[in-house]
């Protein structure tokens, strides 16, 4: 199944307000996601969730992965220490389980946008990672933005019921966020009436 990119599809009330930037390996999508988060915060939007930071790889040690809460909160180690030549998955399921509190806090705060660093192999192959938290965010209708490897794009769309796939382009992502946040705010106003 070949996933297609839908960069400017605005989410309708019946569609999930979930989008993933497709990692085409041509640029650092983690850095792009961090740039987008900074721009949204500078624009006055309330953004919650997490971004990934990595320590540099050395000859004897693989890079360390840390999830950092966007609003300056906690940091969570989410990788297992392994040698630089290891081919095993370094993701630490317990570290991700601990980091899931980021999303529970975000749900309580009802921000304009929630960001997750990646919809990855823990979610796709193991049914773990942040699956439960992402489902809760989508159930609340809060716009959700993440990244996804091209190979996992079909699984993202299945998981979200048709969540958008965005190209790694800041303008396209910002356009999607603008539409998703506007719809979310409109729905919030309507629910108060």
Task: Give 61-83 as a DSSP string.
Answer: SPPPEEEEETTS--EEE-B----
Distance from C-alpha of 21 to C-alpha of 144, rounded to nearest angstrom:
11
Task: Report pLDDT digits (tens) over 59-75.
Answer: 656 678 899 999 987 99
Task: Report pLDDT digits (tens) over 118-148.
Answer: 999 889 987 888 999 999 999 999 999 999 9
Task: Report pLDDT digits (tens) over 35-62.
Answer: 999 999 999 999 999 999 876 666 656 6
Set out the domains of the chain in order of their start, with CATH numbers. 18-192 (3.40.50.300)
List all residues 6 or more positions away from 165 whose beta carbon is below 8 Å from its beta carbon: 3, 4, 5, 6, 19, 20, 22, 148, 153, 156, 157
- pLDDT-derived band at 86 (thresholds 50, 70, 90) equals low
Instruction: Quote the pTM value.
Output: 0.87
pLDDT of residue 173: 97
> Which of helix, strand or coil describes residue 47?
strand
């Amino acid at each position: 199944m070949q996933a297609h990119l839908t960069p400017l599809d605005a989410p309708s009330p019946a569609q999930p307000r979930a989008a993933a930037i497709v990692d085409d390996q041509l640029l650092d999508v983690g850095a792009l996601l961090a740039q987008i988060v900074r721009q949204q915060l500078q624009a006055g939007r309330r953004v919650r969730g997490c971004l990934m930071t990595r320590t540099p790889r050395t000859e004897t040690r693989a890079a360390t992965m840390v999830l950092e809460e966007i609003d300056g909160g906690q940091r969570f180690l989410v990788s297992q220490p392994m040698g630089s030549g290891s081919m095993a998955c370094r993701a630490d399921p317990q570290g991700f389980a601990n980091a899931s509190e980021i999303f529970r806090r975000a749900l309580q705060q009802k921000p304009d946008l929630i960001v997750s660093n990646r919809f990855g192999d823990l979610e796709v192959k193991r049914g773990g990672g942040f699956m439960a938290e992402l489902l809760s965010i989508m159930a609340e209708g809060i716009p959700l933005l993440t990244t996804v490897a091209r190979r996992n794009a079909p699984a993202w769309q299945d998981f979200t019921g048709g969540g958008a796939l965005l190209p790694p382009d800041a303008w396209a992502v910002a356009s999607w966020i603008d539409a998703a946040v506007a719809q979310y705010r409109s729905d919030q106003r309507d629910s108060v009436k």
